[in-house]
Amino acid sequence: MNRKVIIGILALQGGFIEHIRALNALGAETFEIRKKDDLRKPADGLILPGGESTTMSKLLTDLDMFNDLKAIISGGMPVFATCAGMILLARKIAGTQTVHLGIMDITVKRNAYGRQLGSFFVHAPFQELGMVPMTFIRAPFVESAGATVSVLSIVDDRIVAVRQGNMLATAFHPELNTDNRIHQYFIEKIVFRT
């Protein structure tokens, strides 16, 4: 990293602390986004963590942050979304009319691997990185991706990682492992666009 990168992490609900740990381990500076004013702080990128997408969307609306967050990401702010964060970004959620931010050209299936008992761990290939550890917890997967979406990882014939412009999304939780290469990929390929 040539300079200190600053990443804002949505901290309304879900597993944001693990992202802070992973980014700090890479030398990045982080701050928590808990209120509207936090969205105005200088940042090179954002994290939308795992958790519960409906709850996060409701909190974003209740705190008058929803439209600002959508505008910031639509305007080109680099964002890395994991699990529920992927659902927040998706243009369509299979089996429902509900849409949250709706700015990534993907259709996701929620809880695709079942409930908590359907959680699992696997090592699988991720484009440019080789084999990486992947922890899936009540995970979605991508049913379909638009023409401008790059598929970065497939597990058991299901798309689990995608990139579109300034947006990176994974169905799994790389922050729950000590391997920080996907966070490094976000910083290098999405934030700095190397």
Q: What is the pLDDT of residues 125-149, one digit of tens each?
A: 999 999 999 999 888 999 999 999 9
Q: Taking 70 as the threshold, does the pLDDT of residue 114 lie above it?
A: no
Identify the structural domains of the chain with CATH numbers, from first to last.
Answer: 6-191 (3.40.50.880)
pLDDT single digits (tens) 6-46: 999 999 999 999 999 999 999 999 999 999 999 999 999 99
Confirm whether 143 is a catalytic residue.
no
d(CA 149, CA 145): 6
pLDDT, residue 111, reads 75
Of 19, 100, 173, 183, which residue is the catalytic one?
Answer: 173
Confirm whether 52 is a catalytic residue.
no
pLDDT single digits (tens) 140-191: 999 999 999 999 999 999 999 999 999 999 999 999 999 999 999 999 999 9
Which pTM does this prediction carry?
A: 0.96
Confirm whether 32 is a catalytic residue.
no
Of 18, 83, 100, 183, which residue is the catalytic one?
Answer: 83
pLDDT single digits (tens) 61-103: 999 999 999 999 999 999 999 999 999 999 999 999 999 999 9
Of 18, 19, 175, 183, which residue is the catalytic one?
Answer: 175
Amino acid at 118: G
